[in-house]
Amino acid sequence: MAKGIDPLETMPVSPYARPTRWALWFWSTLVLGFLYMPIFFLVLFSFNEPRTPGLPITGLTLHWYEVAAGNSVLLDAVKNSLIVSVAVAILATLIGTMAAFVLVRGRLRHADSIRIVSTMPIMLPGVLLGIGLLIFFRRVLDLELSLLTVIAGHLVFTIPFVVLIVAARLKGFDKRLEWAAADLGADPRQSLRYVILPLIWPAIAAGALISVTLSIDEFIITFFTVGPQVTLPLYIYTQVKFGVTPEVNAVATVLLASTVLLLIVSGLVLRGGRKLMKRGAK
Amino acid sequence: MDDLTSAASSRWRRYAPGIPGAIALLVLFIGPMLFMLVFSFWETDLDFNLVPNWNVDNYLRFFTVPTYLRTLAKTLVMASAVTLAGLAVALPFTYFLVRYVSRRWQRLILLAVIVPFWTSYLLRVYAWQAILGERGALNQVLMFLGIIDQPSRLFVYNDVGVFVVLLYVYFPFAALALYASLEKFDFGQLHAAQDLGARPDQAFRHILLPQIRAGIITACIFIFIPILGEFLTPTVVGGVQGTLIANLVVNFFRGAQIAEGAALGIVIALFVTALLVVFRKYLRLEDVVTRG
């Protein structure tokens, strides 16, 4: 609201301008409330004593966090989810970054069609991807389902995310920097190592981060491609479906806290990267 | 001769980094989809084996069995309703954000819209169970206020619950898409239009709306398409009544009726692809994805 400098902004053109503005303000507050109300209750119920999550709040406790911490099935699920998401992030970032280079600079024929097909897995509902993979792994290749098939399944939609993000960065890249490097005697490999990669690494990092988060959260594709193992979303699903105790809320709260933490840390890292960029661009 | 080989090798060097990605796309996406297409024309026999008995019965069934048609129609109605509601929620919100809020706060509020994306989708759906359910917060509040005297089951395990949760899960996509296009709009144009005699609503309709069309279409696509494949929300808060089309696909697969499930999957996939092709010019994938 500190836009008072522009006379156009402060001069009400219509008699309804001011009430409209208040209505919009009120609406936006409601929207943010709507967005955070479920999360608020999710966290609140994790500290509540009764066995079923809900109101009223009868007493605050950390009991459900202790229960969660001592649950070996849950811990195993967390371990599996971490293994899968780290593997997915590494592979997706490598494969996706390389593919983005070819898409943006490969002077491909039918580049537009290739771009559309390669981003299809993002837009197509996960149920279809999951079922397609299940049919393919079981009926065509006759594979045993395991964490490996889960990793393969997660790559389907994480690679396109990395491609999109890195390609967007590569397109906005000032080519003259590369010419300058070549003028100064850098061979292509040196220019990649010392010019291009330092400039696009925030995009690569963002791609890796998105891959980790999407993979940890992915329920549907995991559901169809997993063997006897349990991952975190699968564990939460069975809890939600059969017999909920506030233990799930405790897990949710820990997840939420670690995500926010991860976001803050990566935000700081990316900001550092951006500063580096600006210095590089000067 | 030497020129030819060096041209070929330079092209090779240009394409080589894309090969792992191409293989992944081929093996993990295009391949499975093609096999799904093939199996949709096969048959599941009485022992639940898949037999290559080519036919189109799996497709015809959807247009003859009323339950399937009804579920399909209901899914389309639900997706449209949530899309409209999503726009109605997100447009005033983003308009206010872009026009009346300082850049600094805009960024913070936008971040607040994005953060829930980074929390588990499953948990966001589950959280609503604790609000809408019989012992949920909504019932407790209504009882406390004396509006109802017994917990109501009106809010969950039916279409109302599914609608609310889907709106909750998908309207942030609309907000991001709309924000991206509103941000580029010059609000001086609205004043100019009004100077020239347009009423505020006319200026809004004829000046603003056409210029944010791409954003509106992207927002619609990002709400409408996922709902066509939505199976978790109906399972968690929908109960028996709230079933959507993707639940049918999953049920077929649970019942080992792969041919039938594959056919329904292909129908949905074709529908989604058609939407994407029709609106490809307006679709700004990056606006939503690279922000989230």
Above 70 in pLDDT, residue B218? yes
Percentage of chain B lying above the pLDDT 70 cut: 91
pLDDT-derived band at A81, boundaries 50, 70, 90? very high
Residue A84 lies in a domain: no
**Closest listed residue to residue A196, CA positions, set A130, A97, A81:** A97
Q: What is the pLDDT of residue B289?
A: 62
Mean pLDDT of the B139-161 span = 75
- Report the gap between the CA of A157 and the closest CA in chain B (Å): 9
Nearest to A255 among B15, B119, B135 (CB): B119
CB-based contact A165:A206 (threshold 8 Å): yes
**For the segment B229-255, what is each residue's pLDDT rounded down to a tens digit?**
888 888 888 777 778 888 888 888 887
Lowest mean pLDDT among A62-71, A212-221, B144-153: B144-153
Q: What is the pLDDT of residue B145?
A: 79
Above 80 in pLDDT, residue B93? yes
Q: What is the pLDDT of residue A94?
A: 95
> Measured between CB atoms, does A221 come within 8 Å of chain B?
no
Q: What is the pLDDT of residue A272?
A: 63
Cα nearest neighbour of A120 on chain B: B273
Task: List where CATH 1.10.3720.10 sits in chain B.
Answer: 57-289
Above 70 in pLDDT, residue B79? yes
What is the residue-averaged pLDDT of chain B?
83
Residue A121 lies in a domain: yes
Lowest mean pLDDT among A172-181, A226-235, B145-154, B266-275: B145-154
| More confident site: A238 or A11 | A238
Lowest mean pLDDT among B1-10, B84-93, B99-108, B134-143: B1-10
Alpha carbons A70 and A66: distance in angstroms, whole number: 6
Counting every residue written for chain B, the total comes to 292
Q: What is the pLDDT of residue B53?
A: 79
Q: What is the pLDDT of residue B64?
A: 85
Cα nearest neighbour of A129 on chain B: B29
Neighbour count for residue A179 (Cβ, 10 Å)? 11
Cα nearest neighbour of B13 on chain A: A106
Q: What is the pLDDT of residue A89?
A: 94
Q: What is the pLDDT of residue B3?
A: 58
Tell me, what CATH number does A202's domain have? 1.10.3720.10
Give chain B's radius of gyration (CA, Å): 24
Above 70 in pLDDT, residue A275? no
pLDDT-derived band at B75, boundaries 50, 70, 90? very high
For chain A, first and last CA: distance in Å?
A: 33
Cα nearest neighbour of B246 on chain A: A127
CB-based contact A178:A155 (threshold 8 Å): no
Contacts of A96 in chain B (CB under 8 A): 21
- As a 3-state breakdown, chain B gives helix, strand, coil percent values, each rounded to 5, of 75, 0, 25
Triad B54, B57, B63: Cα angle to 5°: 150
**For the segment A178-196, what is each residue's pLDDT rounded down to a tens digit?**
788 888 878 877 878 788 8
Mean pLDDT of the B33-39 span = 91
Residue A2 lies in a domain: no
Alpha carbons A251 and B157: distance in angstroms, whole number: 24
Pick the CATH number of B57-289 from 3.30.1330.20, 1.10.510.10, 1.10.3720.10, 3.40.50.720: 1.10.3720.10
Query: Who's near A24: CB < 8 A, 6+ residues apart?
Result: B92, B95, B96, B100
**For the segment A91-149, what is each residue's pLDDT rounded down to a tens digit?**
999 999 999 988 888 777 777 778 788 888 888 888 999 999 998 998 888 888 889 99
Mean pLDDT of the B33-58 span = 82
Residue A126 lies in a domain: yes
| More confident site: B198 or A35 | A35
What is the SS3 string spanning A122-144?
HHCCHHHHHHHHHHHHHHHCCCC
Contacts of B289 in chain A (CB under 8 A): 122, 161, 164-165
Q: What is the pLDDT of residue A92?
A: 95
Chain A interface mutation, best of B120, B190, B195, highest count of A Cβ atoms under 10 Å: B120
Alpha carbons B181 and B193: distance in angstroms, whole number: 19
Say if the Cβ atoms of B194 and A14 lie within 8 Å.
Answer: yes
Among A65-69, A268-272, B37-41, B181-185, the range of highest mean pLDDT: B37-41
**For the segment A136-178, what is each residue's pLDDT rounded down to a tens digit?**
998 888 888 889 999 999 999 999 999 988 888 888 777 788 7
Above 70 in pLDDT, residue B5? no
Specify the number of domains making up chain A.
1
Among A23-32, A159-168, B77-86, B252-261, the range of highest mean pLDDT: B77-86
Residue A28 lies in a domain: no
Above 80 in pLDDT, residue A8? no
pLDDT-derived band at A221, boundaries 50, 70, 90? very high
pTM reported for the whole predicted model = 0.85
pLDDT-derived band at B1, boundaries 50, 70, 90? very low
What is the residue-averaged pLDDT of chain A?
82
Contacts of A24 in chain B (CB under 8 A): 92, 95-96, 100
Supply the ipTM of this predicted assembly. 0.83
Above 90 in pLDDT, residue A86? yes
- Report the gap between the CA of A120 and the closest CA in chain B (Å): 8
Q: What is the pLDDT of residue A79?
A: 92
Say if the Cβ atoms of A219 and B124 lie within 8 Å.
Answer: no
Q: What is the pLDDT of residue A189?
A: 79
Alpha carbons B69 and A193: distance in angstroms, whole number: 57
Mean pLDDT of the B47-71 span = 82
Q: Tokens representing B172?
A: 């942030």
- Report the gap between the CA of A282 and the closest CA in chain B (Å): 25
Q: What is the pLDDT of residue A54?
A: 63
Nearest to A131 among B95, B113, B261 (CB): B261
